[in-house]
Structure 1
Amino acid sequence: MPDSPPPSDNIVIDVRHVEKSFGDGSNRIHVLKRVDFQAQTGEITMLVGPSGCGKTTLLSAIAGTMRVDSGEIRVFGHSLEKMSGPALTRFRAQKIGFIFQQFNLIPTLTVAENVGVPLLIQGLSNGKALKRSRDILEKVGLGDRWKERPNKLSGGQQQRVAIARALVHEPPLVICDEPTAALDAQNGEIVMDLFRQVARSADRSVIIVTHDNRIFSYADRIARMDDGEIVEVKEQDTGGQPHFEHPVHV
Protein backbone atom coordinates (compact mmCIF):
# COMPACT_ATOMS: atom_id res chain seq x y z
CA MET A 1 0.00 0.00 0.00
CA PRO A 2 1.46 3.43 -0.89
CA ASP A 3 2.35 5.86 1.86
CA SER A 4 -0.30 8.52 2.50
CA PRO A 5 0.75 12.06 1.59
CA PRO A 6 1.21 14.57 4.40
CA PRO A 7 -1.80 16.72 5.35
CA SER A 8 -2.40 19.69 3.07
CA ASP A 9 -4.78 22.63 3.02
CA ASN A 10 -5.61 21.57 -0.54
CA ILE A 11 -6.88 18.12 0.43
CA VAL A 12 -10.63 17.94 -0.03
CA ILE A 13 -11.01 14.19 0.58
CA ASP A 14 -9.03 12.37 3.25
CA VAL A 15 -9.75 8.66 3.61
CA ARG A 16 -7.92 6.93 6.46
CA HIS A 17 -7.81 3.17 7.12
CA VAL A 18 -11.33 2.60 5.78
CA GLU A 19 -12.78 -0.90 5.77
CA LYS A 20 -16.07 -2.15 4.38
CA SER A 21 -17.48 -5.67 4.21
CA PHE A 22 -20.70 -7.23 3.00
CA GLY A 23 -22.36 -10.43 4.20
CA ASP A 24 -21.90 -12.47 7.38
CA GLY A 25 -19.82 -15.39 8.58
CA SER A 26 -18.26 -17.50 5.86
CA ASN A 27 -20.06 -15.40 3.24
CA ARG A 28 -18.46 -12.16 4.42
CA ILE A 29 -16.62 -10.32 1.65
CA HIS A 30 -14.06 -7.64 2.50
CA VAL A 31 -14.49 -5.03 -0.24
CA LEU A 32 -12.33 -2.23 1.22
CA LYS A 33 -9.21 -3.14 3.20
CA ARG A 34 -7.77 -0.29 5.28
CA VAL A 35 -7.92 2.09 2.32
CA ASP A 36 -6.00 5.36 2.44
CA PHE A 37 -6.84 7.88 -0.26
CA GLN A 38 -6.59 11.64 -0.73
CA ALA A 39 -7.84 14.05 -3.39
CA GLN A 40 -7.00 17.71 -3.77
CA THR A 41 -8.79 20.82 -4.90
CA GLY A 42 -8.08 21.99 -8.44
CA GLU A 43 -7.65 18.45 -9.77
CA ILE A 44 -9.37 15.62 -11.58
CA THR A 45 -8.55 12.38 -9.77
CA MET A 46 -9.39 9.06 -11.41
CA LEU A 47 -9.83 5.68 -9.73
CA VAL A 48 -9.01 2.75 -12.02
CA GLY A 49 -8.72 -0.99 -11.61
CA PRO A 50 -10.42 -4.28 -12.44
CA SER A 51 -14.14 -4.78 -11.95
CA GLY A 52 -14.99 -5.77 -8.38
CA CYS A 53 -11.87 -4.25 -6.82
CA GLY A 54 -13.85 -1.79 -4.66
CA LYS A 55 -13.83 1.41 -6.74
CA THR A 56 -17.58 2.06 -6.68
CA THR A 57 -17.83 1.10 -3.00
CA LEU A 58 -15.12 3.62 -2.14
CA LEU A 59 -16.83 6.26 -4.27
CA SER A 60 -20.18 5.64 -2.51
CA ALA A 61 -18.50 5.93 0.90
CA ILE A 62 -16.85 9.23 -0.07
CA ALA A 63 -20.20 10.52 -1.34
CA GLY A 64 -21.82 9.66 1.98
CA THR A 65 -24.34 7.26 0.43
CA MET A 66 -22.78 4.27 2.20
CA ARG A 67 -21.48 3.97 5.77
CA VAL A 68 -18.16 2.18 6.31
CA ASP A 69 -17.33 -0.39 8.99
CA SER A 70 -14.24 1.37 10.33
CA GLY A 71 -11.81 4.16 9.56
CA GLU A 72 -12.57 7.78 8.79
CA ILE A 73 -13.58 9.80 5.74
CA ARG A 74 -13.21 13.56 5.92
CA VAL A 75 -14.64 15.75 3.17
CA PHE A 76 -13.81 19.47 3.34
CA GLY A 77 -12.59 18.77 6.88
CA HIS A 78 -15.88 17.23 8.02
CA SER A 79 -15.93 13.65 9.29
CA LEU A 80 -18.78 11.83 7.55
CA GLU A 81 -18.90 9.13 10.23
CA LYS A 82 -19.66 11.70 12.92
CA MET A 83 -22.64 13.21 11.06
CA SER A 84 -26.22 12.21 11.81
CA GLY A 85 -28.34 11.00 8.90
CA PRO A 86 -30.14 14.34 8.39
CA ALA A 87 -26.89 16.32 8.73
CA LEU A 88 -25.19 14.08 6.18
CA THR A 89 -28.11 14.51 3.76
CA ARG A 90 -27.84 18.31 4.04
CA PHE A 91 -24.07 18.16 3.61
CA ARG A 92 -24.38 16.09 0.44
CA ALA A 93 -27.00 18.44 -0.98
CA GLN A 94 -24.73 21.44 -0.44
CA LYS A 95 -21.29 20.04 -1.20
CA ILE A 96 -21.51 17.02 -3.50
CA GLY A 97 -22.73 16.32 -7.01
CA PHE A 98 -22.93 12.57 -7.67
CA ILE A 99 -23.16 11.05 -11.15
CA PHE A 100 -24.35 7.43 -10.89
CA GLN A 101 -23.86 4.64 -13.42
CA GLN A 102 -27.65 4.37 -13.43
CA PHE A 103 -29.06 7.68 -14.61
CA ASN A 104 -31.81 7.80 -11.91
CA LEU A 105 -33.89 10.29 -13.89
CA ILE A 106 -37.52 10.85 -12.86
CA PRO A 107 -39.62 9.69 -15.83
CA THR A 108 -42.59 11.99 -15.15
CA LEU A 109 -40.43 15.15 -15.20
CA THR A 110 -39.03 16.93 -18.23
CA VAL A 111 -35.30 17.03 -18.84
CA ALA A 112 -35.05 20.57 -17.43
CA GLU A 113 -37.15 19.64 -14.38
CA ASN A 114 -34.89 16.65 -13.69
CA VAL A 115 -31.82 18.87 -13.87
CA GLY A 116 -33.42 21.46 -11.60
CA VAL A 117 -34.20 19.09 -8.70
CA PRO A 118 -31.03 19.97 -6.69
CA LEU A 119 -31.84 23.68 -7.05
CA LEU A 120 -35.40 23.22 -5.80
CA ILE A 121 -34.05 21.27 -2.80
CA GLN A 122 -31.86 24.29 -2.04
CA GLY A 123 -34.90 26.58 -2.16
CA LEU A 124 -34.59 28.27 -5.55
CA SER A 125 -37.80 29.33 -7.26
CA ASN A 126 -39.10 27.33 -10.22
CA GLY A 127 -38.24 30.17 -12.62
CA LYS A 128 -34.62 30.50 -11.47
CA ALA A 129 -34.17 26.74 -11.39
CA LEU A 130 -35.47 26.44 -14.96
CA LYS A 131 -33.10 29.14 -16.23
CA ARG A 132 -30.05 27.54 -14.65
CA SER A 133 -31.14 24.11 -15.84
CA ARG A 134 -31.41 25.30 -19.42
CA ASP A 135 -28.01 27.01 -19.18
CA ILE A 136 -26.25 23.83 -18.07
CA LEU A 137 -28.14 21.75 -20.64
CA GLU A 138 -26.73 24.05 -23.33
CA LYS A 139 -23.23 23.24 -22.07
CA VAL A 140 -23.77 19.50 -22.45
CA GLY A 141 -25.31 19.90 -25.90
CA LEU A 142 -28.96 19.32 -24.96
CA GLY A 143 -30.32 22.85 -24.94
CA ASP A 144 -32.95 21.98 -27.53
CA ARG A 145 -34.28 18.94 -25.59
CA TRP A 146 -35.19 20.61 -22.30
CA LYS A 147 -38.95 19.98 -22.70
CA GLU A 148 -38.56 16.27 -23.48
CA ARG A 149 -39.23 13.40 -21.07
CA PRO A 150 -36.26 11.09 -20.37
CA ASN A 151 -37.80 8.19 -22.30
CA LYS A 152 -37.53 10.24 -25.50
CA LEU A 153 -33.73 10.41 -25.17
CA SER A 154 -30.99 7.94 -26.03
CA GLY A 155 -28.84 6.40 -23.31
CA GLY A 156 -26.02 8.84 -24.03
CA GLN A 157 -28.37 11.80 -23.87
CA GLN A 158 -29.81 10.59 -20.56
CA GLN A 159 -26.25 10.32 -19.24
CA ARG A 160 -25.62 13.95 -20.17
CA VAL A 161 -28.83 14.97 -18.38
CA ALA A 162 -27.59 13.17 -15.26
CA ILE A 163 -24.26 14.99 -15.57
CA ALA A 164 -26.04 18.34 -15.94
CA ARG A 165 -28.12 17.59 -12.84
CA ALA A 166 -24.96 16.86 -10.82
CA LEU A 167 -23.33 20.13 -11.90
CA VAL A 168 -26.26 22.58 -11.91
CA HIS A 169 -25.95 23.62 -8.25
CA GLU A 170 -22.18 24.11 -8.63
CA PRO A 171 -21.10 21.66 -5.91
CA PRO A 172 -17.47 21.99 -4.82
CA LEU A 173 -17.02 18.20 -5.08
CA VAL A 174 -18.20 16.25 -8.14
CA ILE A 175 -18.11 12.45 -7.84
CA CYS A 176 -18.62 10.39 -11.01
CA ASP A 177 -19.10 6.67 -11.58
CA GLU A 178 -18.32 5.85 -15.23
CA PRO A 179 -19.60 9.21 -16.55
CA THR A 180 -18.50 8.62 -20.15
CA ALA A 181 -19.42 4.92 -20.50
CA ALA A 182 -22.52 5.66 -22.58
CA LEU A 183 -20.99 8.51 -24.60
CA ASP A 184 -19.37 8.59 -28.02
CA ALA A 185 -15.98 10.28 -28.44
CA GLN A 186 -17.35 13.73 -29.31
CA ASN A 187 -19.78 13.93 -26.39
CA GLY A 188 -17.20 12.39 -24.08
CA GLU A 189 -14.85 15.25 -24.93
CA ILE A 190 -17.60 17.81 -24.28
CA VAL A 191 -18.29 16.33 -20.85
CA MET A 192 -14.63 15.96 -19.90
CA ASP A 193 -13.88 19.53 -20.95
CA LEU A 194 -16.71 20.60 -18.64
CA PHE A 195 -15.30 18.51 -15.79
CA ARG A 196 -11.90 20.08 -16.37
CA GLN A 197 -13.44 23.58 -16.12
CA VAL A 198 -15.10 22.55 -12.85
CA ALA A 199 -11.88 21.12 -11.41
CA ARG A 200 -9.92 24.26 -12.29
CA SER A 201 -12.41 26.48 -10.43
CA ALA A 202 -11.39 27.71 -6.99
CA ASP A 203 -11.80 25.16 -4.18
CA ARG A 204 -13.42 22.48 -6.36
CA SER A 205 -12.48 18.90 -7.18
CA VAL A 206 -13.65 16.08 -9.47
CA ILE A 207 -13.32 12.35 -8.68
CA ILE A 208 -14.00 9.83 -11.46
CA VAL A 209 -14.22 6.04 -11.39
CA THR A 210 -13.67 4.84 -14.94
CA HIS A 211 -12.74 1.96 -17.21
CA ASP A 212 -12.63 4.40 -20.15
CA ASN A 213 -8.99 4.80 -21.15
CA ARG A 214 -10.02 7.46 -23.69
CA ILE A 215 -10.29 9.98 -20.84
CA PHE A 216 -7.10 9.17 -18.90
CA SER A 217 -5.39 12.20 -20.44
CA TYR A 218 -7.75 14.49 -18.50
CA ALA A 219 -6.57 13.22 -15.11
CA ASP A 220 -4.20 15.15 -12.88
CA ARG A 221 -3.80 12.10 -10.67
CA ILE A 222 -4.67 8.42 -11.15
CA ALA A 223 -5.09 5.99 -8.26
CA ARG A 224 -5.05 2.29 -9.09
CA MET A 225 -7.10 -0.10 -6.96
CA ASP A 226 -6.80 -3.85 -6.73
CA ASP A 227 -8.48 -6.29 -4.33
CA GLY A 228 -9.89 -3.58 -2.06
CA GLU A 229 -6.74 -1.49 -1.73
CA ILE A 230 -5.14 1.56 -3.33
CA VAL A 231 -1.96 -0.01 -4.66
CA GLU A 232 -0.49 2.89 -6.61
CA VAL A 233 -1.00 6.63 -7.14
CA LYS A 234 0.59 8.47 -10.04
CA GLU A 235 0.50 12.09 -11.10
CA GLN A 236 -0.21 12.66 -14.77
CA ASP A 237 2.88 13.22 -16.86
CA THR A 238 3.21 16.02 -19.43
CA GLY A 239 2.77 13.57 -22.29
CA GLY A 240 -0.91 13.22 -21.47
CA GLN A 241 -0.96 9.51 -20.57
CA PRO A 242 -0.19 8.10 -17.11
CA HIS A 243 2.71 5.70 -16.71
CA PHE A 244 2.32 2.94 -14.13
CA GLU A 245 5.01 0.66 -12.84
CA HIS A 246 2.58 -2.22 -13.42
CA PRO A 247 -0.10 -2.57 -16.11
CA VAL A 248 -3.47 -1.02 -15.40
CA HIS A 249 -6.28 -3.51 -15.87
CA VAL A 250 -9.34 -1.68 -17.15
Structure 2
Amino acid sequence: MTPPSSSPSQVVVDARSVEKSFGDGPNRIRVLKQVDFTARTGEITMLVGPSGCGKTTLLSALAGTLSIDNGTIRVFDHSLEKMSGGALTRFRSNTIGFIFQQFNLIPTLSVAENVGVPLRIQGVSSGKALKRSREALEKVGLGDRWKERPNKLSGGQQQRVAIARALVHEPPLIICDEPTASLDAKSGEIVLDLFRKAACSPDRAVIIVTHDSRIFSYADRISRMDDGQIVETTEQDHQQTPHFEHETPH
Protein backbone atom coordinates (compact mmCIF):
# COMPACT_ATOMS: atom_id res chain seq x y z
CA MET A 1 0.00 0.00 0.00
CA THR A 2 1.62 3.25 -1.12
CA PRO A 3 0.70 6.53 0.61
CA PRO A 4 -0.54 9.26 -1.67
CA SER A 5 1.72 12.13 -2.65
CA SER A 6 1.43 15.11 -0.35
CA SER A 7 2.15 18.81 -0.61
CA PRO A 8 4.49 20.73 1.71
CA SER A 9 3.32 21.06 5.33
CA GLN A 10 0.29 18.87 4.77
CA VAL A 11 -1.18 17.15 7.84
CA VAL A 12 -0.49 13.45 7.31
CA VAL A 13 -0.85 12.18 10.88
CA ASP A 14 -4.12 13.21 12.46
CA ALA A 15 -5.21 11.75 15.80
CA ARG A 16 -8.55 12.84 17.25
CA SER A 17 -10.03 12.13 20.69
CA VAL A 18 -7.75 9.13 21.17
CA GLU A 19 -8.29 7.13 24.35
CA LYS A 20 -6.39 4.14 25.69
CA SER A 21 -6.63 2.35 29.02
CA PHE A 22 -4.85 -0.64 30.51
CA GLY A 23 -6.16 -3.08 33.11
CA ASP A 24 -9.69 -3.92 34.22
CA GLY A 25 -12.14 -2.85 36.90
CA PRO A 26 -10.63 -0.89 39.79
CA ASN A 27 -7.14 -1.44 38.36
CA ARG A 28 -8.02 0.19 35.04
CA ILE A 29 -5.68 3.09 34.23
CA ARG A 30 -6.50 5.71 31.60
CA VAL A 31 -3.24 6.42 29.81
CA LEU A 32 -4.53 8.49 26.87
CA LYS A 33 -7.40 10.90 27.52
CA GLN A 34 -9.06 12.46 24.48
CA VAL A 35 -5.72 13.16 22.79
CA ASP A 36 -5.58 15.33 19.66
CA PHE A 37 -2.28 15.28 17.79
CA THR A 38 -1.08 16.19 14.31
CA ALA A 39 2.15 15.91 12.34
CA ARG A 40 2.94 17.52 9.01
CA THR A 41 5.21 16.71 6.11
CA GLY A 42 8.47 18.61 5.91
CA GLU A 43 8.65 18.89 9.70
CA ILE A 44 10.07 17.27 12.81
CA THR A 45 7.41 17.09 15.53
CA MET A 46 8.65 16.29 19.03
CA LEU A 47 6.47 14.83 21.74
CA VAL A 48 7.80 15.74 25.18
CA GLY A 49 6.65 15.48 28.77
CA PRO A 50 7.36 13.72 32.09
CA SER A 51 7.82 9.96 32.35
CA GLY A 52 4.53 8.09 32.50
CA CYS A 53 2.48 10.82 30.82
CA GLY A 54 1.53 8.61 27.84
CA LYS A 55 4.10 9.62 25.18
CA THR A 56 5.24 6.12 24.23
CA THR A 57 1.68 4.80 24.30
CA LEU A 58 0.60 7.51 21.89
CA LEU A 59 3.62 6.85 19.69
CA SER A 60 2.78 3.13 19.51
CA ALA A 61 -0.81 3.96 18.57
CA LEU A 62 0.34 6.32 15.81
CA ALA A 63 2.62 3.58 14.47
CA GLY A 64 -0.24 1.09 14.39
CA THR A 65 1.43 -1.28 16.83
CA LEU A 66 -1.11 -0.63 19.60
CA SER A 67 -4.89 -0.54 19.22
CA ILE A 68 -6.88 2.29 20.79
CA ASP A 69 -10.13 2.17 22.76
CA ASN A 70 -11.78 5.22 21.23
CA GLY A 71 -11.01 7.97 18.75
CA THR A 72 -9.51 8.01 15.26
CA ILE A 73 -5.99 7.93 13.84
CA ARG A 74 -5.43 8.76 10.18
CA VAL A 75 -1.97 8.32 8.65
CA PHE A 76 -1.55 9.45 5.05
CA ASP A 77 -5.35 9.42 4.77
CA HIS A 78 -5.72 5.82 6.00
CA SER A 79 -7.74 5.10 9.17
CA LEU A 80 -5.57 2.74 11.20
CA GLU A 81 -8.41 1.52 13.41
CA LYS A 82 -10.39 0.40 10.35
CA MET A 83 -7.61 -1.65 8.76
CA SER A 84 -7.41 -5.44 9.06
CA GLY A 85 -4.33 -7.04 10.59
CA GLY A 86 -2.74 -7.98 7.28
CA ALA A 87 -3.48 -4.64 5.62
CA LEU A 88 -2.14 -2.77 8.63
CA THR A 89 1.07 -4.81 8.60
CA ARG A 90 1.62 -4.09 4.91
CA PHE A 91 0.85 -0.41 5.40
CA ARG A 92 3.33 -0.14 8.28
CA SER A 93 6.08 -1.93 6.36
CA ASN A 94 5.73 0.45 3.40
CA THR A 95 4.95 3.66 5.23
CA ILE A 96 6.54 3.74 8.69
CA GLY A 97 10.09 3.52 9.95
CA PHE A 98 9.93 2.92 13.72
CA ILE A 99 12.94 3.41 15.98
CA PHE A 100 12.36 1.51 19.22
CA GLN A 101 13.78 2.63 22.53
CA GLN A 102 15.11 -0.90 23.15
CA PHE A 103 16.62 -1.21 19.64
CA ASN A 104 14.97 -4.66 18.92
CA LEU A 105 17.90 -5.91 16.86
CA ILE A 106 17.97 -9.61 15.93
CA PRO A 107 21.03 -11.13 17.64
CA THR A 108 21.57 -13.92 15.09
CA LEU A 109 21.78 -11.50 12.14
CA SER A 110 24.69 -9.30 11.17
CA VAL A 111 24.41 -5.55 11.50
CA ALA A 112 23.79 -5.18 7.75
CA GLU A 113 21.18 -7.96 7.79
CA ASN A 114 19.37 -6.23 10.65
CA VAL A 115 19.30 -2.96 8.72
CA GLY A 116 18.02 -4.77 5.63
CA VAL A 117 14.99 -6.37 7.33
CA PRO A 118 12.48 -3.72 6.10
CA LEU A 119 13.79 -4.14 2.55
CA ARG A 120 13.53 -7.92 2.65
CA ILE A 121 9.94 -7.61 3.93
CA GLN A 122 9.23 -5.47 0.87
CA GLY A 123 10.65 -8.18 -1.41
CA VAL A 124 14.00 -6.55 -2.23
CA SER A 125 16.63 -9.12 -3.21
CA SER A 126 19.33 -9.99 -0.69
CA GLY A 127 22.06 -8.46 -2.85
CA LYS A 128 20.29 -5.13 -3.30
CA ALA A 129 19.25 -5.10 0.35
CA LEU A 130 22.85 -5.59 1.44
CA LYS A 131 24.05 -2.74 -0.78
CA ARG A 132 21.44 -0.32 0.53
CA SER A 133 22.03 -1.46 4.12
CA ARG A 134 25.74 -0.75 3.88
CA GLU A 135 24.98 2.69 2.43
CA ALA A 136 22.62 3.39 5.35
CA LEU A 137 25.27 2.25 7.84
CA GLU A 138 27.80 4.58 6.24
CA LYS A 139 25.44 7.49 6.91
CA VAL A 140 25.35 6.71 10.64
CA GLY A 141 29.11 6.20 10.84
CA LEU A 142 29.12 2.39 11.04
CA GLY A 143 30.06 1.40 7.52
CA ASP A 144 33.04 -0.64 8.76
CA ARG A 145 30.95 -2.72 11.21
CA TRP A 146 28.44 -4.19 8.78
CA LYS A 147 29.56 -7.80 9.29
CA GLU A 148 29.42 -7.67 13.08
CA ARG A 149 26.69 -9.15 15.28
CA PRO A 150 24.79 -6.65 17.45
CA ASN A 151 26.33 -7.98 20.68
CA LYS A 152 29.74 -6.78 19.47
CA LEU A 153 28.54 -3.17 19.45
CA SER A 154 28.07 -0.64 22.23
CA GLY A 155 24.62 0.58 23.19
CA GLY A 156 25.11 3.79 21.23
CA GLN A 157 26.25 1.87 18.16
CA GLN A 158 23.24 -0.45 18.39
CA GLN A 159 21.02 2.62 18.52
CA ARG A 160 22.60 3.91 15.32
CA VAL A 161 21.99 0.52 13.66
CA ALA A 162 18.31 0.77 14.68
CA ILE A 163 18.18 4.25 13.16
CA ALA A 164 19.74 3.04 9.91
CA ARG A 165 17.15 0.23 9.80
CA ALA A 166 14.31 2.74 10.17
CA LEU A 167 15.65 4.95 7.38
CA VAL A 168 16.91 2.36 4.86
CA HIS A 169 13.60 1.94 2.98
CA GLU A 170 12.97 5.71 2.94
CA PRO A 171 9.55 5.58 4.64
CA PRO A 172 7.35 8.68 4.42
CA LEU A 173 6.73 8.57 8.20
CA ILE A 174 9.59 8.14 10.66
CA ILE A 175 8.61 7.54 14.29
CA CYS A 176 11.28 7.54 16.99
CA ASP A 177 11.16 6.66 20.69
CA GLU A 178 14.08 8.34 22.48
CA PRO A 179 16.46 8.03 19.49
CA THR A 180 19.34 9.90 21.14
CA ALA A 181 19.12 8.44 24.65
CA SER A 182 22.22 6.25 24.18
CA LEU A 183 24.21 8.61 21.98
CA ASP A 184 27.14 10.88 22.76
CA ALA A 185 27.21 14.39 21.31
CA LYS A 186 29.08 13.47 18.12
CA SER A 187 26.78 10.54 17.30
CA GLY A 188 23.76 12.63 18.23
CA GLU A 189 24.70 15.33 15.75
CA ILE A 190 25.05 12.72 12.98
CA VAL A 191 21.66 11.24 13.75
CA LEU A 192 19.82 14.54 14.14
CA ASP A 193 21.27 15.81 10.88
CA LEU A 194 19.87 12.69 9.19
CA PHE A 195 16.45 13.35 10.70
CA ARG A 196 16.66 16.99 9.68
CA LYS A 197 17.47 16.03 6.07
CA ALA A 198 14.71 13.40 6.07
CA ALA A 199 12.16 15.89 7.39
CA CYS A 200 13.05 18.43 4.71
CA SER A 201 11.26 16.24 2.17
CA PRO A 202 7.80 17.58 1.26
CA ASP A 203 6.52 13.99 1.38
CA ARG A 204 7.95 12.92 4.75
CA ALA A 205 7.14 13.57 8.39
CA VAL A 206 9.25 12.81 11.46
CA ILE A 207 7.84 12.29 14.98
CA ILE A 208 10.22 12.00 17.94
CA VAL A 209 9.41 11.20 21.56
CA THR A 210 12.22 12.50 23.75
CA HIS A 211 13.33 13.62 27.18
CA ASP A 212 16.57 14.90 25.68
CA SER A 213 16.53 18.69 25.85
CA ARG A 214 19.71 18.77 23.72
CA ILE A 215 17.63 18.06 20.62
CA PHE A 216 14.66 20.39 21.15
CA SER A 217 16.20 22.98 18.82
CA TYR A 218 15.86 20.51 15.91
CA ALA A 219 12.06 20.47 16.20
CA ASP A 220 9.70 22.42 13.97
CA ARG A 221 6.85 21.71 16.37
CA ILE A 222 6.84 20.59 20.01
CA SER A 223 3.77 19.00 21.58
CA ARG A 224 3.90 18.72 25.37
CA MET A 225 2.03 15.94 27.15
CA ASP A 226 1.00 15.69 30.75
CA ASP A 227 -1.31 13.18 32.43
CA GLY A 228 -2.41 11.56 29.18
CA GLN A 229 -3.23 14.74 27.28
CA ILE A 230 -1.59 17.20 24.90
CA VAL A 231 -1.45 20.38 26.95
CA GLU A 232 0.48 22.65 24.59
CA THR A 233 1.83 22.72 21.04
CA THR A 234 4.36 25.32 19.95
CA GLU A 235 6.05 25.98 16.62
CA GLN A 236 9.70 26.92 16.14
CA ASP A 237 11.15 29.01 13.34
CA HIS A 238 14.69 27.89 12.52
CA GLN A 239 16.68 31.06 11.89
CA GLN A 240 19.94 29.20 12.52
CA THR A 241 21.15 25.63 12.08
CA PRO A 242 20.04 23.60 15.12
CA HIS A 243 22.87 22.57 17.44
CA PHE A 244 23.21 19.39 19.48
CA GLU A 245 24.43 20.63 22.86
CA HIS A 246 27.35 18.83 24.51
CA GLU A 247 25.78 17.95 27.81
CA THR A 248 24.42 14.90 29.55
CA PRO A 249 20.87 14.00 28.36
CA HIS A 250 18.06 13.97 30.88
What TM-score do you get using the length of structure 2 for normalisation? 0.92
2:116 aligned with 1:104, yes or no? Answer: no
Verify the 8 A CA contact 1:217 1:240 in the aligned structure 2.
no
Computed over aligned residues only, the root mean square deviation of the Cα atoms, in angstroms, reads: 1.6
**Structure 2 counterpart of 1:71, which letter?**
G
**Structure 1 counterpart of 2:221, which letter?**
R
Q: Aligned ranges for residues 1-250 of structure 1 at < 5 Å? A: 10-238=10-238
Q: Secondary structure at the match of 1:90?
A: helix
CA distance in structure 2 between the aligned counterparts of 1:199 and 1:70, rounded to whole angstroms = 30
Verify the 8 A CA contact 1:19 1:32 in the aligned structure 2.
yes
Question: Could you list the runs of 5+ residues in structure 1 that have no partner in the other structure?
Answer: 1-7, 242-249
CA distance in structure 1 between the aligned counterparts of 2:59 and 2:239, rounded to whole angstroms = 28
CA distance in structure 2 between the aligned counterparts of 1:207 and 1:151, rounded to whole angstroms = 28
CA distance in structure 1 between the aligned counterparts of 2:195 and 2:153, rounded to whole angstroms = 22
CA distance in structure 2 between the aligned counterparts of 1:112 and 1:129, rounded to whole angstroms = 9
What TM-score do you get using the length of structure 1 for normalisation? 0.92
Q: Secondary structure at the match of 2:230?
A: strand
CA distance in structure 1 between the aligned counterparts of 2:240 and 2:16, rounded to whole angstroms = 29
CA distance in structure 1 between the aligned counterparts of 2:137 and 2:235, rounded to whole angstroms = 32
CA distance in structure 2 between the aligned counterparts of 1:210 and 1:9, rounded to whole angstroms = 22
CA distance in structure 1 between the aligned counterparts of 2:56 and 2:9, rounded to whole angstroms = 26
Q: What is the deviation of 1:202?
A: 2.7
Question: Could you list the runs of 5+ residues in structure 2 that have no partner in the other structure?
Answer: 1-7, 242-249
Verify the 8 A CA contact 2:45 2:223 in the aligned structure 1.
yes
CA distance in structure 1 between the aligned counterparts of 2:77 and 2:138, rounded to whole angstroms = 34
Verify the 8 A CA contact 1:107 1:149 in the aligned structure 2.
yes
**Structure 2 counterpart of 1:135, which letter?**
E
CA distance in structure 1 between the aligned counterparts of 2:101 and 2:181, rounded to whole angstroms = 8
- Residue 5 of structure 2 is matched in structure 1 by none
Verify the 8 A CA contact 1:218 1:240 in the aligned structure 2.
no
1:141-176 Cα offsets, whole Å, 9 max, x none, are 000000000000000000000000000000000000
**Structure 1 counterpart of 2:85, which letter?**
G
Question: For the structure 1 residues 102 and 110, does the alpha-carbon distance in structure 2 shift closer, same or farther, using more than 3 Å as the test?
Answer: same
Percent identity over the alignment? 79
CA distance in structure 2 between the aligned counterparts of 1:63 and 1:188, rounded to whole angstroms = 23
Q: Secondary structure at the match of 1:31?
A: strand
Q: Secondary structure at the match of 1:147?
A: coil
> Number of residues paired by the alignment?
236
Q: Secondary structure at the match of 2:169?
A: coil
CA distance in structure 2 between the aligned counterparts of 1:166 and 1:118, rounded to whole angstroms = 8
